[in-house]
Amino acid sequence: MDHIARHARPAHLVEASLEDIMGRYVKRFSDTLADWNAFSDASIEGYHRAQHRFVGAGASGKHDDAGVIPAGAFTLSIMNVPPGQGNAPHTHEVEEVFFVLQGECVVFIEDEAGRRLSQTLKPWEMISCPPGVIHGYVNDSDAPCFLQVMLGKGRPETAGFADSALFERRDAHLA
């Protein structure tokens, strides 16, 4: 019986053993660290949240890849969002997906005039935010919310906060 890979491995995996691949491409939540300072807005009341990075550098702008599965065409993180917290309205150059795993949160999109549309998402519900559309989320419930967050690029640019003061301080956060 033939057993043939119908697609080529990336160059860096051509000689890799299955053990090497399994060791590098499996990540457990228990092995991640909650980064409560992943984003420049995370120190501001109302925007506290922790990022658990799994794949790629993420939109925090931090590109420390230690212990993170290498990114190809996307990033993947889990966000721990305490009650009353969320993130600041922002954009990306690629799409961003918020997928609720536990709890609930309110997701929103806005236009440049400040008009906002919101919806509450519960477990196994999600929003895909198109590039250039101002978006975000807030946990308005009394329980923590855990979101899976994906961005459509292996190394996305740092989030473009809609608020000018937050946008101006994002580079200082990375220093």
Domain ranges for the chain, please list them.
31-174
Cβ atoms of 35 and 52 closer than 8 Å: yes
CB-neighbour burial class of residue 162 (10 A; exposed 0-12, middle 13-18, buried 19+): middle
Which residues of the chain fall short of a pLDDT of 50? none
CA 99 – CA 120 distance, rounded (Å) = 12
Residue 62 confidence (pLDDT): 53
Q: What is the tens place of the pLDDT at every residue in 91-141?
A: 999 999 999 999 999 999 999 999 999 999 999 999 999 999 999 999 999
Name the pairing type of β-strands 105-110 and 134-138. antiparallel
Q: Which CATH number fits domain 31-174: 1.20.1250.20, 3.20.20.140, 3.30.420.40, 2.60.120.10?
A: 2.60.120.10
Determine the pLDDT at residue 49.
96
Query: What is the model's pLDDT at position 167?
Result: 86
- Euclidean distance between CA atoms 67 and 32, whole angstroms: 8
Count CB-CB contacts under 10 A for residue 108: 18
